[in-house]
Every structure is written in structure tokens, then in C-alpha cells.
Amino acid sequence: MAAETVSAAAGAAAEHASGGLPQFDLTLWPGQMLWMLIIFGVMFFLFARVFVPRVGGAIDDREDRISGDIGAARKLRDEADAQAAAAAAETAQGRAAAQKLALDAKAKAVAEAAKREGAEEAKLVETLAKADVRILATRDAAMANVRTIAVETAGAIVEKLTGTAATSQEVDQVLAGRA
């Protein structure tokens, strides 16, 4: 039995080997050509009507989305530039207002300082005038006592030198003659 199966298998292999490859069998070509045309037609129809429009639509949608995004980005950039310019203008305006306020405050402080300085100077002049009056009064009082002190000192000197005391009238007469 084993010999029979081996011979049957060998016969089938010989049959198959004698026919060759089916692609090269010219009797089978018309059927293969028909199926190739049907498959080509179906594939052509699918590509022409389904796949290419979808891919083209996806590409168009993507280009539209990219263009829209670029437009939105430009719009946002322009808005940001406008806001930056407005912020710069507000900053400059605020800086100018602050400088004006600082100058006004400085001028006010200088004016107040000058006013206080003038008031202090007036007080100083008044104090100096009062001091001058007191000095003059003290000097006049001291000068009034100088004659009395001179008479007493001269009497003491005469007494020390001569041993006799001179009267204040005598010393006063001698000083008056010299004066």
C-alpha cells in the first residue's frame, strides 16, 4: 500500500510538472486578462472616486486650517502689537505725570524751605537786634561805672604810692582836667 501511494504521488507530480506554470500557459491568458481588467477598473474607479478625493480633500482641509491658523496668528500678533503700543503709551504718560508731580513737589518743597528760611532769618535778625540793644545798654551801663571805677582805682593807687588817701572829689577833679 505504501508503494501505491508513492507511485500516485509521483504521477501527480509528473502531471503537474509537465504543465508548467499557469501564468505561462497561453490557454489561460484570456481569463487572466479579463480578471486583470476587472480588477484594474475597480481599482481605477476606487482611486478616482474615493481615495484621491479624500486625500485631496484632507490636503485642502489641512491647507485651509493652516491658512486660517496663520491668519489668526497674524491677527493676534497685530492685537498684541497694538496692546504693547498702548501699554508703552500709558507707561510714557504715567512717567510724564510722575515727573511733573515730582517737579511740582520739589518746587513746593523749595518754596516752603525758602519761606521757613525767611521766617528763621527774620527771627534771627530780630534776635540780633535785641542782642545789640542789650549789648549797647550793658556797654552804656559799664561805661557809666567806668568813671566811678577809675576814681576808686586812682584813689587806691595814690594811697598806695603816697601813703595818704585822696578824696574822691580830688581824684575826680584831676580826671576831669585830663579828660
Answer yes or no: is pLDDT of 179 > 50: no
At 70, the pLDDT band (50, 70, 90 cuts) reads very high
Distance between CA atoms of residues 159 and 156, nearest Å: 5
Which residues have C-beta within 8 Å of that of residue 64, sequence separation ≥ 6?
Answer: none
Residue 6: predicted pLDDT? 57
Answer yes or no: is pLDDT of 81 > 80: yes
Residue 21: DSSP 8-state: -
Torsions phi, psi for 20 (to 5 deg): 80, -165
- Averaged pLDDT for residues 134-156: 83
At 141, the pLDDT band (50, 70, 90 cuts) reads confident
Q: Which residue's C-alpha cell is 476587472?
A: 38
Under 8 Å between Cβ of 128 and 144: no
Q: For 104-137, write each residue's pLDDT tens digit.
A: 999 999 999 999 999 999 999 999 999 999 999 8
Q: For 31-53, write each residue's pLDDT tens digit.
A: 889 999 999 999 999 999 998 89
Task: Compute the mean pLDDT over every residue in the chain, rounded to the nearest whole number.
Answer: 85
Q: For 88-104, write each residue's pLDDT tens digit.
A: 999 999 999 999 999 99
